[in-house]
């Protein structure tokens, strides 16, 4: 007589941490009002305003998301994309910006440019990193706010003094298409 086969339990997938869902508010199509400083870190006070469209989509397996960015009239032919990847180990997001001008790649080595890294706390998302701007190193900060209002807001700021002062140089205000 043979002994019955022993069933080995198959572990169920781990439930994704709630921080992995931080960008769920952004999924779907958007109209985006852009207000962008004409010259950055130059004492400029002139702003350009233009509209764009975008759609955010999840990546498979809850590893992150991406969105496209297409201005309606600003820089004809320009297309951008944010790639957001979540680390379950650190509970932090890495955000990469890609576009059809640079590819988002370092020309010296062909690798992705460094991301801004951070997360959400107290209803605000803060993400910081380093980049080269006009040949000089600057700190970059992305800030997400108003996520749960149905009209989220994103802004970018640069600091050329190690984060002591910040210059906001781009603001995006999101609204669902009608």
At 178 the pLDDT is 87
Sign of torsion over alpha carbons 127, 131, 58, 61:
negative
pLDDT average per 10 residues of sequence, the chain (178 residues): 58 60 96 98 96 97 96 94 96 96 90 96 96 94 95 98 97 96
> How many H-runs (helices) and E-runs (strands) does the chain carry?
0, 10
- Give me the pLDDT at residue 12, please: 46
**Class of the 18-175 domain?**
mainly beta
Contact status, residue 61 vs residue 86, Cβ threshold 8 Å: no
Q: Half-sphere exposure (CA, 13 Å, Cβ side) for 175? A: 7
pTM value is 0.88
């Amino acid at each position: 007589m043979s002994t019955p086969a022993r069933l080995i339990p198959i572990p169920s997938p781990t439930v994704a941490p709630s921080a992995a869902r931080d960008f769920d508010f952004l999924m779907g199509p958007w109209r985006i009002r852009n207000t962008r400083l004409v010259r950055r870190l130059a004492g400029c006070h002139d702003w350009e305003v233009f509209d764009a469209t975008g759609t955010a989509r999840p990546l498979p397996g809850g590893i992150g998301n991406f969105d496209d960015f297409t201005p309606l009239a600003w820089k004809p032919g320009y297309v951008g994309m944010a790639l957001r990847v979540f680390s379950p180990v650190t509970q932090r997001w890495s955000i990469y910006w890609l576009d059809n001008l640079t590819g988002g790649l370092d020309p010296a080595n062909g690798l992705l440019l460094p991301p801004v890294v951070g997360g959400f706390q107290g209803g605000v998302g803060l993400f910081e990193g380093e980049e080269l701007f006009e040949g000089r190193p600057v700190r970059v900060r992305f800030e997400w706010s108003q996520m749960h209002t149905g009209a989220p807001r994103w802004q970018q700021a640069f600091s050329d003094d190690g984060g002591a002062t910040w210059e906001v140089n781009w603001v995006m205000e999101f609204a669902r298409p009608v």
